[in-house]
Structure 1
Amino acid sequence: MFTGIVEDLGTVVRLDRGTDFARLTVDSPVAVTNRTVIGESIAVNGVCLTVTAVQGTAFTADMMHETLRCSSLGFLRRGDHVDVERAMPAAGRFSGHIVSGHIDGTGLVESITPDGIAKVYTIRAPYELMRFIAQKGSITIEGISLTVTSVTDDTFGVSIIPHTASHTVLAERGIGSIVNIETDPIAKYVDRLLALPSHGGDSDSRASEAITERFLIEHGF
């Protein structure tokens, strides 16, 4: 588990691509010198990866097909910067919010607008992600814990202060950039619980007992 507080701005040293996998090596002095070990979980641009090797100030992790399909990590190149966060210890603090490192998908930076000392990034995302995004709710962009400042049917906004911009990859993300998105995991669990009854049954019976607009109207809501 992570909190979305980026610890280091790492640099891609190597990316070896296979048919349906890739092996990523990242130089991250802050993460590695703080006793990162083989088998440990580490988030790269918000994606939870398992450390398979450590050499000097760099670590290596394998990426399976699902990771490449759901995230933008497969597009990385040598020299690119990445946000790095080690898994939170049991005695750690939630400085951000609950982050699993399981990316839901990607979005597209549609606009970047100055707003006082901050910059507002407007990001376009597909419906399957937007339905879990609420104004003033938490969201993870490129591994960064952020607060949603605005929402439309297919876009949402986040406000970035100078410190966040200068210590993460967001300073290098322009209009048209693809970014990794993880929505609030609590919203996904609630959605799943509401969609299914408390007992089993066939798909028709489950659908009839799901909490829908029709169900609420029939029960006086």
Structure 2
Amino acid sequence: MFTGIIESVGSIQQLQPLQGDCRVQVATGKLDLSDVKLGDSIAVNGVCLTVIELQGHSFWADVSGETLRCTTFNDFKTGQKVNLEKALMPTTRMGGHLVSGHVDGLGEVIEIKQAARSVFFKIKADMSIAKYIAAKGSITVDGTSLTVNAVNDCEFELNIIPQTLAETIFNTYNVGMFVNLEVDLLARYLERLLTMGKIEGKEKVSTLTESMLREHGFIRN
């Protein structure tokens, strides 16, 4: 698990295609690897990868064919900058929100403009994941935990403050590029609870309803 608070901007050092999947070497920049061991997890642009080799200020990881298919890893180039975060520990401050490192889909950057000292971004998501994105809710973009300003159908808006621009790869984004999206874990589990289907051939009706959630303050008008 991760928090979505980026610890370092690194870069892709090597990409080695291997019979349908890939092995990648990531230079970690200022990320402290002194407490990292083989088998540990590091999120690279929001994708949870397992460290298989440590080499100076870099690490190697295997990227499965499924990950290549579902994320922007398939388009990565040597030298490309990436967001990095080590897996959280029990003592980690929860500055963002709980992030699994399992990308739900891709989003397309469709608008970028200055907004005072911040930068406004509009991103279009696929309908299959857009339904989980809510105004003032949490979204992970390339591993960065962010608050959604507004939602219009499949498009959502973000304001990126100077600190986030300086410490992530948001300052490298251009209109038309694609980013990794992970929706809030709670949204996925709530949907499952509200739409429970047949279990062992019998219709099971969940006691968790929209009216109950509204009554207890989880949904507001």
What TM-score results when the alignment is normalised by the length of structure 2? 0.89
2 CA distance for matches of 1:157 and 1:120? 7
Q: Please state whether the residue corresponding to 2:149 is helix, strand or coil.
A: strand
Q: Please state whether the residue corresponding to 1:13 is helix, strand or coil.
A: strand
After TM superposition, which residue ranges in structure 1, 4 or more long, deviate above 4 angstroms?
A: none
- Provide structure 1 residue ranges, at least 5 long, that are not aligned to the other structure: 217-221
The amino acid of 2:131's aligned partner reads R
The amino acid of 1:26's aligned partner reads V
Identity %: 38
What TM-score results when the alignment is normalised by the length of structure 1? 0.89
- Corresponding residue of 2:179: 179
1:32 shift after superposition: 4.7
Alignment deviations for residues 23-42 of structure 1 (CA, whole Å, 9 cap, x no partner) = 11101143353322110011
Verify the 8 A CA contact 1:16 1:23 in the aligned structure 2: yes
Verify the 8 A CA contact 2:9 2:29 in the aligned structure 1: no
Within-5 A mapping of 1:102-181: 102-181=102-181
- Corresponding residue of 2:54: 54
Verify the 8 A CA contact 2:141 2:182 in the aligned structure 1: yes
- Corresponding residue of 1:84: 84
The amino acid of 1:119's aligned partner reads V
Verify the 8 A CA contact 2:8 2:30 in the aligned structure 1: yes
Verify the 8 A CA contact 1:32 1:59 in the aligned structure 2: no
Kindly tell me: are residues 32 and 53 of structure 1, through their superposed partners in 2, closer, same or farther at Cα, counting changes over 3 Å?
A: farther
- Corresponding residue of 1:66: 66
1:150 shift after superposition: 0.8
2 CA distance for matches of 1:193 and 1:55? 45
Verify the 8 A CA contact 1:137 1:147 in the aligned structure 2: yes
- Provide structure 2 residue ranges, at least 5 long, that are not aligned to the other structure: 212-221
2 CA distance for matches of 1:16 and 1:45? 18
Alignment deviations for residues 24-73 of structure 1 (CA, whole Å, 9 cap, x no partner) = 11011433533221100110000001000001111011011221121101
2 CA distance for matches of 1:119 and 1:71? 24
1:126 shift after superposition: 0.8
1:160 shift after superposition: 0.4
Verify the 8 A CA contact 1:138 1:145 in the aligned structure 2: yes
Q: Compare the two structures and name the one with the higher helix fraction.
A: 1
Q: Please state whether the residue corresponding to 1:33 is helix, strand or coil.
A: coil
Q: Please state whether the residue corresponding to 1:189 is helix, strand or coil.
A: helix
